[in-house]
Amino acid sequence: MTSIATAGASVTEQHAAIAGGRPWQRLVLLAVGLLVALGLPWFVYPPVAMDIAAWALFAVALDLLLGYCGLLSFGHAAFWGGSAYATGLIAIHFGVPFPVAVFGGALFAMLLALPIGYLSVKRSGIYFAMVTLAFAQMLFFIANQASSLTGGENGLQGVPRSFFGIEAVETDSFFFYYAALPIILLGMWAAWRIVHSPFGRVLVAIRDNAPRARALGYDVERYKLIAFVLSAGLSGLAGGVFAVSHGFVALPELHWATSGEVVLMTVLGGIGTLWGGVIGAGLIVLLADYLASSGFDGIGIVTGGVFMTVVLLFRRGIWGTARHLWLTRRRS
Partner 1 sequence: MNAVLQYTVQGLAAGSFYALAALGLAVIFGVLGVVNFAHGAFYMLGAVAAAVLLDTVGMSLWLALIVVPLLMLVFGMLVERLLVQWLLPLDPLYNLLLTFGLTLLLVDLVKRRYGVSGLPYERPDVLSGRIQVAGVGLPIYQLFVIGVALLVCLGVWLLMTRTRVGMIVRAATERPELAGALGINVGRWVTPVFGFGVALAGLAGVLAAPFRAITAEMGSDFIIILFAVVVIGGLGSIVGAVAGGFLVGLVEAFGQAYAPTFAQVLIFVLMAVVVLARPAGLFGREEATA
CB of 72 to partner 1, least distance (A): 5
Between 61 and 131, CB nearer to partner 1: 131
Return the closest-CA partner of residue 59 out of 308, 274, 319. 274
What does residue 155 show for φ and ψ, rounded to 5 degrees?
80, 170
Alpha carbon distance 165, 134 (integer Å): 42
Number of residues that bind partner 1 (CB under 8 A): 45
Q: Which range, of 83-91, 120-128, 274-282, 324-332, touches partner 1 by CB under 8 A?
A: 120-128
- Stretch 127-156: interaction string toward partner 1, x if CB under 8 A: x-xxx-xxx-xx--xx--x-----------
Task: Report the half-sphere exposure of 110 (CA within 13 A, side-chain side).
Answer: 15
Instruction: Name beta bridge partners: 249.
Output: 156
| Residue 306 lies near partner 1 (rule: CB under 8 A) | yes
- Stretch 157-196: interaction string toward partner 1, x if CB under 8 A: ----------------------------------------
Between 116 and 241, CB nearer to partner 1: 116
Residues 60-96: b if buried by 16+ CB within 10 A, e if exposed: bbbbbbbbbbbbbbbbbbbbbbbbbbbbbbbbeeeee
| Residue 263 lies near partner 1 (rule: CB under 8 A) | yes
8 A C-beta contact, residue 104 and residue 90? yes
8 A C-beta contact, residue 235 and residue 76? yes
Q: Which range, of 55-63, 118-126, 150-158, 281-289, touches partner 1 by CB under 8 A?
A: 118-126
Positions 43 through 82 that interact with partner 1 (CB under 8 A): 72, 74
| Residue 260 lies near partner 1 (rule: CB under 8 A) | yes
| Residue 114 lies near partner 1 (rule: CB under 8 A) | no
| Residue 294 lies near partner 1 (rule: CB under 8 A) | no
What does residue 141 show for φ and ψ, rounded to 5 degrees?
-65, -40
| Residue 215 lies near partner 1 (rule: CB under 8 A) | no
CB of 43 to partner 1, least distance (A): 28
Alpha carbon distance 117, 293 (integer Å): 38
Between 94 and 127, CB nearer to partner 1: 127
8 A C-beta contact, residue 227 and residue 117? no
| Residue 201 lies near partner 1 (rule: CB under 8 A) | no
CB of 74 to partner 1, least distance (A): 8
| Residue 126 lies near partner 1 (rule: CB under 8 A) | yes
| Residue 276 lies near partner 1 (rule: CB under 8 A) | no
Return the closest-CA partner of residue 320 out of 17, 81, 62. 17
Determine the Cα angle at 185 with ends 163 and 32, to 5°.
Answer: 125
Alpha carbon 92 to chain centroid distance? 25
Residues engaged in binding partner 1 (CB under 8 A): 1-4, 7, 72, 74, 119, 122-127, 129-131, 133-135, 137-138, 141-142, 145, 256-257, 260, 263-264, 267, 297-301, 303-308, 311-312, 315
